[in-house]
Amino acid sequence: MAKQTQTADKTAEKPAENDKAAAMDAPAAEGKKAAEPQPVKEEMVHLIVFKLGAEYYAIKIEQVKEVNITPATTRMPRTPHFVKGVANIRGDIIAIIDLEDRFNIRPAPLLDGLNPDLTYTLVIEAKGYSIGVTVKEMPQSLNLPISKIDKAPSFLQDVNISENFIEGLARTGDRLIIVLDMHKILTQDEVRELPG
């Protein structure tokens, strides 16, 4: 048990250690994980952690195709407010959405030294298409034993994100991370047609 905690602590420190380029390149980070022998046999999850408002959120790395600096986005008039527009990522034109707007999360004041014009886009792979999710701070990668994720937190009814989208809560050190199931968000997001 003690051993397990130790591993968790060690992995929790990883994001801080990772230099920025490694965090940007998710597959490289995955490679690093494979190279590092895990002393404990327990199944691990690899998460991409990002901030919405003042809280930490995460998506499982299998659902993330790549992380980019947000490319030039063309606004699309008369689409829902959380759709920031469309962007050209390597010839694919994908929708860019803002989860803070989507879930009515109050944006946190920007940290000192962060460029407000520089945001990051997580490209999420869904069935047959991709979608971009913008975040203000550089996403980080995190390895966690699966037992660290509380699958059914009891206080979910108080959260304004429908519980269907939340896969669980992860605790590492003093941080609380809300793990989202992006596929559920995407399938439930009904971008409706215009009236008339």
Partner 1 sequence: MKSREQEYKEIFIAEALEYFDALNRHISTLEKQPDDEQTLAEIFRLLHNMKANSKAIGYLQISDVSHKLETAFSLIRNKELAFSDEVVTVLFDGIDLLGELITNIDSNQEAEPDPVLLRNLDIIVENLSDSAIELAKVQKYNTSKNLSLSDLVYIQIKKLDHLMNLVGELMIDRDRILSISKDMGNEELKTVSSHLYRITEDLQYSVMDARLVNIGSLFNKFPRIVRDIAAAEKKEVDLELIGQDIQIDRNILQIMTDSLLHLVRNAVTHGLETPAEREKKEKPRMGHLTLSAKSDRENVLIELADDGKGMDFKLIKRTAVERHLITADAAEGLTEAEVLSFLFEPGFSTAKEVTEFSGRGVGLDVVKNAIDSIGGRLMVKSEKGKGTTFSMQLPTSIAVKGALLFEVDEIFYAIPLIHTEQVIALDKDELHEVGDVMIADLKGEAITVVYLHELLNTDEHQMRLGDKSRLKGQVQNIVVVSYNNRKIGLIVDKLYRQQDIVVKPMSKPLDRIDLYGGVTLLGTGKVCLVLDVPATTRYFMNRRQAQEHV
- CB proximity list for 102: less than 8 A, separation 6 or greater: 82, 185, 189
Binding mask 76-115 for partner 1 (x = CB under 8 A): xxxx---x--xxx--xxxxx--------------------
Q: Which is nearer to partner 1, 22 or 126 (CB)?
A: 126
Does position 173 bind partner 1 by CB under 8 A?
no
d(CA 56, CA 174): 12
Place of tokens 């991409």: 48
**Per-position b or e across 133-169, b if 16+ CB within 10 A of its CB:** bbbbbbbbbbbbbeebbeeeeeeeeeeebeeebbbbb
User: Could you tell me which stretch among 2-10, 18-26, 70-78, 117-125 binds partner 1 (CB under 8 A)?
Assistant: 70-78
Q: Which is nearer to partner 1, 85 or 153 (CB)?
A: 85
Does position 69 bind partner 1 by CB under 8 A?
no
- What Cα–Cα distance (Å) separates residue 168 from each residue in 93, 118, 163? 31, 29, 9
Site residues (CB under 8 A) for partner 1, limited to 130-169: 130-131
Which stretches of the chain bind partner 1, using CB under 8 A? Answer: 72, 74-79, 83, 86-88, 91-95, 126, 128-131, 186, 189-196
